[in-house]
Every structure is written in C-alpha cells, then in structure tokens.
DNA sequence: TAGATTGTTAATCGATTAACAATC
DNA sequence: TAGATTGTTAATCGATTAACAATC
C-alpha cells in the first residue's frame, strides 16, 4: 500500500502538449547511433529551456543519469506510455469529407496510439467504399456498432450543423472521448472527454501574429532612419 | 502623439486561442434575432468564466453596454479584426497529399482571413490539376512565384523529411509566416512566424486523458462498493 | 430607482525559470 | 577527482479568478 493517499492532480496540459514534440525529435535521433540524450540537447533543438525539458520528462517517471542524460529508447518508451501511445485505442470516425478522408488515409496514426476501425457517412455514394483498408459504413449503424464493439473514441469530422447530434448519439452509445474537428462547441455530459481540434484556432494565431509583425515592421521603417 | 511610449506586450496566447471560439458561437447567434449578447451568456455556452470572457473581449477594444451586453455585429467585427480576419491573407500551400488536398478543398477558410492562391507538389501526376479552383503547380516554381506575387504565408503539408528544406526555400524567397503541419521542428530565422499544427499533439491529450479516466474509473469500481 | 451588466483593480493560482545540491 | 548533468526546492511571472465600483 505504499504511496497511497490523495491523488495529486494530473500532468499540466502545457507539458502534455510538448510530449509529442519530444517523441518526434527523439525518433529522429533513434536513426543515429546516439544512445543517450541530455535535456540540454533537446532544449536546444526545440528552442526550449533545459530546466523545462527536465521537468517535462520527469512527469513520465523516467530517471536520467547524471553526466550522461537519458537513455534514448527508454525515454521514448516512457513518453509513449504517458500518452498511452503504447496501446492501440480503437476509434470510429464519422464524416468522410475531405478532412475525414485525410485522417482515415493517414496510416501513421497507429504509431500514435490510434486505431481507426471503421468510418461512417450518410452519403450512399461513399458507403461500402474503403479508404486505406478502412470500410465506410452508413451512419445509421453507428450507435449499434459502438455498443457491439465497445468503442471508446469517436472522431467527428462532420459539418458543424450535424456535430452536436452525432456527438449525442455517440455518447448515448457509450463513447468516452470525442476528437472533434467541427467548429462548434459540443455540449455533452461533463465526464465525456472532448478534445477540439480547430484548424482556425491555429490559423488565428498565425494571422494575428503576422499582422502585428507587418504593422511593427512598417512602423520601424518610419521611425528608424 | 497620444498614447505613445513603450509598447506593452501583445495579447496573451490563451486569449487568442479562445477568440475563434467566440466568433463561431457569435456567428451562430447572428442567425437569430438577438442583437446584444452578454459575457455571461457566452461564458455559459462555452463553459468559461464570464470574467474571463469580458477580459478576452476587452483585448479587441470593444466597449460593452452595461445592462445590455455587447452589440453582436460589432463584437464579431472586433474579434475578426483582432485576428486580421477582416483581410484576406494570400498563401501558398506545398504538399498536395491527402491533408493538403483537404485544406485546399476547405472553402470556408476565406471567412477566416486565408486565401490560398496556389498549391505546389513535386508529383507530375498532380501538377496542372485543379482542386476547388486552386491550381497545382510544380514545386520548382515555388520560390520564383513567392517573390513575384509577394506571398507572405506558406502552408506546409509535405512529409516530415522534406519540411525543413521547403521551409528554408520559402523563407529565402520571402515568406514571413509558415503554417506547418509536418511533425518536425522547423529551424528558421527567428523573425519568421511559425505556427505548428500537430494533429498528434491534440491526439496525445485525448489518449492521455482517456487512459487516466479509464484507470480512475476502474479503481473506483474496486474501492466503491 | 433598482438591478443587471460592464470594466478595473487586487488576490490567487499554476507554470516557468532560477538556484543549487546530489550524483556518476 | 573534476565536471557535466540530473533533480529538487525556491522565486518569478503571467493568466485566471475574485471583489467591487461605475454605468445605463
């Protein structure tokens, strides 16, 4: 019963967001002969602070070796484990438009813990087709199949108008986490995990920063002489 | 020369990330008869704190009306202006794979300040085709056309291996901001704006939270009786 | 006027950064 | 051993939240 007692909060979200970057970098390194990697090296490559990198890696439970750094293979394993990427999480995708197709077509997700089992659409033209080995089924079968196959993850790539309804159907059928690409706020029972991926959120940052920079640059042109 | 003096920092990034959500919600509201919206209403719909919403909206410079709230149309305009979405920013996309095609195919970007002028690929099969009215050109023409058309934004949807090289070519030719979808850290001159959109970053959050939840739930099953 | 809502100033909280001891 | 690197404890910084006065 060691270390029982109160469960102290989870991993900070900013930290979680950096973990995939570490993994991508470290996998690159794996192609070389390097066996150990220091927090300083990682920080340098990713433009981060080495203290922050050490703090981040610490959440995975890995213990580094003073003077050497972290064992590369072990580090990748711990990071993957923290994200649960050492398991394959079964998922259904709904909405086989261009974005949905792109996601189904991206085979690399299996390295990131995601196994898309089937896709659903309401367009009869698309049904029965197969993309990347993944069958497209009529959306009328969605709920029944979620129940039957005990699927936990739903990927929502439908238009905004249908997103809430499909989300509700998913949750009703037992989906525990939704990866939502529709630009709309889903209201569901609060113990369902919703992860929104809004392309426009990222785009907004870009366009805002760009316009701020262009404005600043043109001001400098006038004041600097 | 009013209000000259030191330029105080920009808008906090967490705030910027919430602005598109406000816009999406408010555009929905625009379809109704509603003319004014309160911070409380918004907070309630998006599961946020109303104080936070007011603070966020304040960065756009809008001034609300006590007792009424914010003028809906005006609010949308200020939000769009803050993100520079009231301008169309020209962009080139490189890498017409499934994700690149999906992005080109998504016409709605024009409501979010993005105008994809042309796409580039090194596959002769894809070149000369047109998606959503956007022509696909050989990547050999990229640099020259960036210069000629004075394009500021580059969208990178190439495989990780080619991303750094294309990024360098873009920057060399005068690109000022890169929207990067390749799972790799780009090293470029630090005054180039890089906005990374890593699908796996978002996915990692989802899989981590899900596994934490499933673990917690199964623990409860044992301790609760 | 009374009451709802904004907007500002202050308090809290959590993440980042710094300082430094521990270790191989 | 000396030196590089980890890991912990403390300080700083910035975003969120709270308190409250201003306004229509």
pLDDT tens per residue across span B95-121: 999 999 999 999 999 999 999 999 999
Q: Is the pLDDT of residue A8 over 60?
A: no
Give a yes or no: residue A154 inside a domain: yes
The alpha-carbon gap from B141 to the nearest alpha carbon of chain A, in Å, equals 24
Give a yes or no: residue B66 inside a domain: yes
How high is the pLDDT of residue B178? 98
Nearest nucleotide (C1') to the CA of residue B13?
A: D15
CB-neighbour burial class of residue A133 (10 A; exposed 0-12, middle 13-18, buried 19+)? exposed
Residue for token digits 């590369």?
A72
Q: How far apart are CA A169 and CA A191, in angstroms?
A: 15
Which residues touch B108 (CB under 8 Å, ≥6 apart)? none
User: Domain end: B38, B65, B82, which one?
Assistant: B82
Least confident of A35-44, B149-158, B162-171, B215-224: B215-224
Distance B127 CA to C13 C1' (A): 54
User: Nearest Cα to A12, choosing from A56, A50, A78?
Assistant: A56
**Per-residue pLDDT tens over the stretch A11-36:** 999 999 999 999 999 999 999 999 99
Q: Using CA coordinates, name the residue in chain A closest to B195.
A: A206
Least confident of A37-51, A100-114, B206-220: B206-220
**Domain membership of residue A183 as a residue range:** 89-200
Same domain, A157 and A54: no
Same domain, B189 and B112: yes
DSSP state of B27: H
Same domain, A76 and A93: no
Which candidate in B182, B209, B223 is best for mutational testing of the A interface (most A CBs within 10 A)?
A: B209
In this prediction, residues B171-184 reach a mean pLDDT of 98
Which residues touch B69 (CB under 8 Å, ≥6 apart)? B36, B37, B38, B39, B41
Q: How far apart are CA A112 and CA B167, in angstroms?
A: 25
Same domain, A141 and A50: no
Give a yes or no: residue B189 inside a domain: yes
Nearest nucleotide (C1') to the CA of residue B36?
A: C5
Cα distances (angstroms) measured from residue B137 to each of B125, B143, B173: 11, 12, 17
**C-beta separation of B41 from B69 below 8 A:** yes
How many C-beta neighbours within 10 Å does residue A97 have? 17
DSSP states along A20-32: HHHHHHHHHHHTS
In the predicted model, what is the mean pLDDT of chain A? 94
Cα angle A10, A16, A19 (rounded to 5 degrees) comes to 140
Q: Is the pLDDT of residue B48 over 60?
A: yes
Q: Is the pLDDT of residue A115 over 50?
A: yes
Nearest nucleotide (C1') to the CA of residue B68?
A: C5
Look up residue A214 and give its two tokens: 């262009």
How high is the pLDDT of residue A224? 57
The alpha-carbon gap from A89 to the nearest alpha carbon of chain B, in Å, equals 8
How high is the pLDDT of residue B222? 74
Which residues touch B145 (CB under 8 Å, ≥6 apart)? B92, B118, B137, B151
Q: How far apart are CA A42 and CA A49, in angstroms?
A: 9
How high is the pLDDT of residue B89? 97
Same domain, A105 and A76: no
Question: Smallest Cβ distance to B203: which of A114, A201, A207?
Answer: A114
User: Nearest Cα to A23, choosing from A84, A73, A79, A92?
Assistant: A79
Give a yes or no: residue B214 inside a domain: no
User: Domain end: A28, A54, A82, which one?
Assistant: A82
The phi, psi pair for A170, rounded to 5°, reads -60, -50
How many C-beta neighbours within 10 Å does residue B117 have? 15
Say if strands A153-156 and A89-94 run parallel, antiparallel, or are unpaired.
parallel
As a dihedral over the C-alpha atoms of residue B115, residue B121, residue B125, residue B126, rounded to 10 degrees, the angle is -10
Q: What is residue B221's three-state secondary structure?
A: helix
User: Nearest Cα to B137, choosing from B153, B152, B150, B126?
Assistant: B126
pTM value is 0.94
Which residues touch A179 (CB under 8 Å, ≥6 apart)? A91, A153, A154, A155, A156, A195, A197, B202, B203, B206
Q: Is the pLDDT of residue A147 over 70?
A: yes
Same domain, B77 and B132: no
- The tally of domains found in chain B comes to 2
Cα A76 from chain centroid?
17
Which candidate in A9, A56, A111, A204 is best for mutational testing of the B interface (most B CBs within 10 A)?
A: A204
- Say which residue, A9 or A203, is predicted with more confidence: A203
Look up residue A102 and give its two tokens: 């792109």
Q: Where are the alpha helices (DSSP H) in chain B?
A: 13-30, 39-46, 50-58, 72-82, 98-105, 142-149, 160-173, 199-223
Same domain, A115 and A59: no
Q: How far apart are CA B73 and CA B62, in angstroms?
A: 11
In the predicted model, what is the mean pLDDT of chain B? 94
Q: How far apart are CA A101 and CA A112, in angstroms?
A: 18
How high is the pLDDT of residue A9? 61
Same domain, A66 and A128: no
Which helix (DSSP H) or strand (DSSP E) does residue B195 occupy?
strand B193-196
Give a yes or no: residue B131 inside a domain: yes
Q: Is the pLDDT of residue A185 over 80?
A: yes
Same domain, B25 and B65: yes
Q: How far apart are CA A170 and CA A144, in angstroms?
A: 10
pLDDT band at B3 (very low <50, low <70, confident <90, very high): very low
Same domain, A93 and A196: yes
- Strand D nucleotides in reach of protein CB atoms, 7 A cut-off: 3-8, 14-19, 22-24
Q: Is the pLDDT of residue B224 over 60?
A: no
Same domain, A61 and A106: no
Which candidate in B177, B208, B213 is best for mutational testing of the A interface (most A CBs within 10 A)?
A: B208
User: Domain end: B82, B111, B130, which one?
Assistant: B82
We report the CATH number of the domain holding residue A54 as 1.10.10.10
The phi, psi pair for B212, rounded to 5°, reads -60, -40
User: Nearest Cα to A22, choosing from A3, A41, A9, A2?
Assistant: A41
- Strand C nucleotides in reach of protein CB atoms, 7 A cut-off: 3-8, 14-19, 22-24
Q: Is the pLDDT of residue A116 over 80?
A: yes
Same domain, A123 and A191: yes
Q: How far apart are CA B168 and CA B166, in angstroms?
A: 5
Question: Smallest Cβ distance to B209: which of A45, A177, A184?
Answer: A177
How high is the pLDDT of residue A223? 67
Q: How far apart are CA A218 and CA A198, in angstroms?
A: 31
**Per-residue pLDDT tens over the stretch B63-107:** 999 999 999 999 999 999 999 999 999 999 999 999 999 999 999
Q: How far apart are CA B39 and CA B58, in angstroms?
A: 11
Give a yes or no: residue B160 inside a domain: yes
How high is the pLDDT of residue A2? 29
We report the CATH number of the domain holding residue B191 as 3.40.50.720
């Amino acid at each position: 019963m060691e270390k029982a007692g109160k469960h102290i909060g989870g991993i900070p979200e900013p930290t979680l967001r950096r973990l995939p970057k570490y993994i991508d970098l470290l996998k690159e390194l794996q192609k070389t002969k390097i066996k150990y990697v220091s927090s300083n090296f990682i920080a340098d490559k990713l433009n981060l602070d080495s203290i922050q990198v050490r703090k981040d890696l610490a959440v995975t439970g890995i213990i580094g070796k003073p003077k050497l750094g972290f064992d590369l293979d072990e580090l990748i394993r711990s990071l993957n484990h923290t994200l649960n990427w050492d398991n394959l999480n079964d998922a259904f995708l709904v909405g086989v438009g261009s974005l949905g197709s792109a996601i189904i077509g991206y085979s690399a997700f299996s390295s990131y813990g995601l196994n898309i089992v089937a896709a659903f659409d309401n367009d009869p033209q698309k049904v029965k087709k197969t993309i990347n080995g993944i069958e497209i089924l009529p959306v009328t079968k969605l709920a029944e199949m979620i129940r039957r196959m005990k699927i936990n993850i739903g990927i929502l790539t439908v238009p905004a108008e249908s997103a809430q309804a499909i989300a509700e159907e998913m949750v009703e059928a037992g989906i525990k986490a939704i990866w939502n690409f529709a630009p709309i706020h889903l209201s569901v029972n609060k113990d369902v995990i919703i992860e929104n991926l809004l392309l426009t959120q990222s785009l907004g940052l870009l366009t805002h920063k760009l316009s701020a920079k262009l404005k600043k640059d043109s001001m400098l042109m006038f004041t600097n002489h």
